Amino acid sequence: MSSIVGKKAPVFAANAIINGNKLINNFSLEQYLEKKYVVLLFYTKDFSGICPHELLDFQKKIHEFESRNTQLVACSTDSEETHMAWLRTNKEDGGVKGVKFPIISDHSKLITSSFNVLFGEYFTNDDQVLDADGPMIPLRGLFLIDKKGVVQHQIVNFFTLIRNVDHILSTIDSLHYFETNGEFCRVND
């Protein structure tokens, strides 16, 4: 698995659910270029043990991301129908009802593989489709993408480790400080 820090984020268009209930075709991060930072987080599966808690933790701090001119976007390899069902399900039942940021459906797994967070032994078959002998699911990847579309920060965790929302906010602050002042800022300063 290689890093894509310092490189342009892979370009894609895919179906996504926005505002918790609306299907958008051809959703792309390009709509945020020159306008916002993007935090793109990959998660393992809808209706899994850790993922609902993690996405709800990000949603709880959505206003802090918005105040930093940052768009949260999540992505898994589940279908948009599964995303929609998950977004309609209460937290007590393993759902993420109330999450408003976009959730991308990468059913083809091409987005996940282009960001180098697809776990499993996979290959491209004769039809140029990703295939595997076992399950292919995303690791817990997170990418901070600047307004020019360049990946500034990347973390990838194994399935059992969740991401710290406050650490991500601090990293955004450090990037913003550098872009504004031309000086480095330590995280948490």
Catalytic residues: 51
**Are 184 and 71 in contact, with CB atoms under 8 Å apart?**
no
Q: In angstroms, rounded to a whole number, what is the distance separating the alpha carbons of residues 145 and 108?
A: 22
The whole-angstrom separation of Cα 108 and Cα 90 is 27
Sequence-ordered alpha helix ranges (H) in 13-70? 51-60, 62-67
Closest CA to 50 of 141, 162, 126: 162
Tokens 């399900």 appear where? 89
